[in-house]
Amino acid sequence: MEYQALQDEIKKAMKARDNARRDILRQVHTECKAIEVNERREVTEADVDAMLKRVIKQTNETLDGSIKAGNNPERTELLTQQVAILEEYLPKQVSGDELLALIDATLAETGATTKRDMGRVMGALTKATGGNFDKAAAAAELGKRLS
Side chain identity at residue 13, one-letter code:
A
CATH code, domain carrying 63:
1.10.1510.10
| Secondary structure in 3-state letters for 79-123 | HHHHHHHHHHHCCCCECHHHHHHHHHHHHHHHCCCCHHHHHHHHH
pLDDT at residue 136, rounded to an integer: 87
Question: Quick one: 36 and 79 in the same domain?
Answer: yes
CA dihedral 94, 100, 102, 103 (to 10 degrees): 120
Q: What is the mean pLDDT of residues 47-68?
A: 91
Q: How many folded domains does the chain comprise?
A: 2
What digits encode the pLDDT tens for the residues 29-57? 999 999 999 999 999 988 998 899 899 99
Residue 146 has pLDDT above 90, yes or no: no
CATH code, domain carrying 129:
1.10.10
Dist. CA 138–CA 135, nearest whole Å: 5
